[in-house]
C-alpha cells in the first residue's frame, strides 16, 4: 500500500494596509470583526508626518489590534544614493517601490495572502495589486458600493474621525511627498517648519548631483525649488482660495470641508496621488 503523506493545508493570511489616510483607515474599521485573523500593517518610510503616527495609535485602540509597522531594511537616504541623487517623482517613484511595496512583499514572503485594498466605489483607479502570484487583492468598498460619503460615515460613527493633517493637507504620506500641492508645501512650512527645512536640505544635497540632469536642479515640487515656492506664498494662497471657492460653488450638494479641499485643484496642482501611499 502506498503511504500517502498528509499535507497540512497552507494557511491563507488576510492583510490590510493602512496608509494613514482616511480610506484605508475606514476600511480597517469596516472590516473589524468580519475577518477575525486580519493582520493590519503600515509601511513606515521613516518620513511620515507626526499626525500620522498619532492617528495610527488612535486607530490601533479602536481596532483592538496592533498595526504592524513595516520598515524597509534600507532607508530613504540609502535609496537616494542608489538612484544617484535623483529625487523620486511621479514618473520615477522609487520611494514607493522600495519603502512601501518591498517591505510588504518581504513581510509576506511566499505566504498565500489576501490583501484588502481601500479603493472606493466612486473611484476610478486600481490601488496596489501585487505582481506576486501568492498575493490576491480584494476591494470590499468597491464590491459593497461604499463611496466617499460612506467612508466619512464609517469614520464618524467609529469616533475616530480624520487624521489631524487633513486640516492642511489632503493626502497621507511622507512629509516631502512630491504629490503635495503647492499650498500644502506652504502648510508644511507653517505646521512643521523643521520638516520643511529638511526637505530643502534634500534639494540642496541633490543639486546637480546626477549627471543625467546635465546641470539642471532636482526639486520636490514641479518647476521650482522650495525656497522659490515659499517666496510665492501669497500668490499660492490666492490661487488656492480661488480654487476653494470654485469647488464650493460647484452645483452639487453641500460638501464637508475635507471634500471641498480635495476637489480644489488650481492650475498648478493636477497630479493624481499615489495609489499605494494615498488611500
Ligand atoms: S508618500 Fe510620496 S514620497 Fe512617500 S513613498 Fe509615497 S509617493 Fe513616495
Is residue 272 domain-resident?
no
For the Cβ of 99 lying below 6 angstroms from any atom of ligand 1, the answer is yes
**Tens-level pLDDT at each residue, the chain (279 residues):** 444 455 555 789 999 999 999 999 999 999 998 999 999 999 999 999 999 999 999 999 999 999 999 988 889 999 999 998 889 998 889 999 999 999 999 999 999 999 999 999 998 776 667 778 899 999 999 999 999 999 999 999 999 999 999 999 988 899 999 999 999 999 999 999 999 999 999 999 887 655 555 566 789 998 899 999 999 999 999 999 888 888 777 765 555 555 655 655 655 655 667 777 778
Is residue 188 domain-resident?
yes
Helix intervals (H) in the chain: 22-31, 50-63, 76-82, 94-95, 102-108, 140-144, 148-158, 182-191, 193-206, 226-231, 233-248, 257-263
- Closest atom of ligand 1 to 179 CA is 2
Based on the structure, what is the number of domains in the chain? Answer: 2
For the Cβ of 32 lying below 6 angstroms from any atom of ligand 1, the answer is no
For the Cβ of 128 lying below 6 angstroms from any atom of ligand 1, the answer is no
Choose one of 137, 167, 197: the last residue of a domain: 167
Task: Check whether residue 48 and residue 116 sit in a common domain.
Answer: yes
For the Cβ of 154 lying below 6 angstroms from any atom of ligand 1, the answer is no
For the Cβ of 177 lying below 6 angstroms from any atom of ligand 1, the answer is yes
Is residue 218 domain-resident?
yes
Task: Check whether residue 210 and residue 146 sit in a common domain.
Answer: no
Task: Check whether residue 138 and residue 17 sit in a common domain.
Answer: yes
* CA nearest ligand 1 atom 2, residue: 177
Containing structural domain, residue 207? 182-263
Is residue 143 domain-resident?
yes
> Who contacts 114 (Cβ-Cβ below 8 Å, separation ≥6)?
12, 13, 14, 15, 136, 137, 138
Is residue 1 domain-resident?
no
Task: Check whether residue 151 and residue 209 sit in a common domain.
Answer: no
Amino acid at each position: 500500500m502506498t503511504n500517502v503523506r498528509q499535507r497540512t493545508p497552507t494557511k491563507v493570511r488576510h492583510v490590510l494596509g493602512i496608509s494613514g489616510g482616511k480610506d484605508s483607515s475606514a476600511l480597517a474599521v469596516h472590516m473589524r470583526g468580519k475577518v477575525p485573523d486580519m493582520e493590519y500593517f503600515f509601511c513606515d518610510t521613516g518620513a511620515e508626518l507626526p499626525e500620522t503616527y498619532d492617528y495610527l495609535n488612535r486607530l490601533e485602540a479602536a481596532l483592538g489590534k496592533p498595526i504592524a509597522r513595516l520598515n524597509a531594511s534600507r532607508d530613504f537616504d540609502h535609496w537616494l544614493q542608489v538612484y544617484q541623487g535623483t529625487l523620486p517623482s511621479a514618473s520615477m517613484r522609487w520611494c514607493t517601490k522600495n519603502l512601501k511595496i518591498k517591505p510588504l512583499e518581504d513581510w509576506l514572503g511566499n505566504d498565500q495572502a489576501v490583501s484588502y485594498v481601500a479603493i472606493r466605489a466612486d473611484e476610478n483607479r486600481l490601488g496596489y495589486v501585487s505582481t506576486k502570484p501568492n498575493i490576491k487583492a480584494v476591494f470590499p468598498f468597491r464590491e459593497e458600493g461604499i463611496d466617499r460619503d460612506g467612508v466619512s460615515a464609517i469614520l464618524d460613527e467609529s469616533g475616530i474621525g480624520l487624521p489631524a493633517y487633513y486640516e492642511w493637507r489632503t493626502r497621507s504620506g511622507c512629509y516631502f511627498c512630491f504629490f503635495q500641492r503647492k499650498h500644502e508645501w506652504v502648510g508644511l512650512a507653517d505646521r512643521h517648519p523643521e520638516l520643511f527645512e529638511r526637505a530643502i536640505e534634500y534639494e540642496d544635497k541633490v543639486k546637480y548631483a546626477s549627471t543625467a540632469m546635465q546641470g539642471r536642479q532636482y526639486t520636490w515640487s514641479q518647476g521650482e525649488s522650495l525656497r522659490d515656492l515659499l517666496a510665492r506664498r501669497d500668490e499660492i494662497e490666492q490661487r488656492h482660495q480661488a480654487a476653494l471657492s470654485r469647488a464650493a460653488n460647484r452645483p452639487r450638494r453641500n460638501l464637508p470641508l475635507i471634500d471641498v479641499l480635495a476637489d480644489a485643484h488650481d492650475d498648478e496642482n493636477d497630479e493624481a496621488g499615489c495609489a499605494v501611499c494615498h488611500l
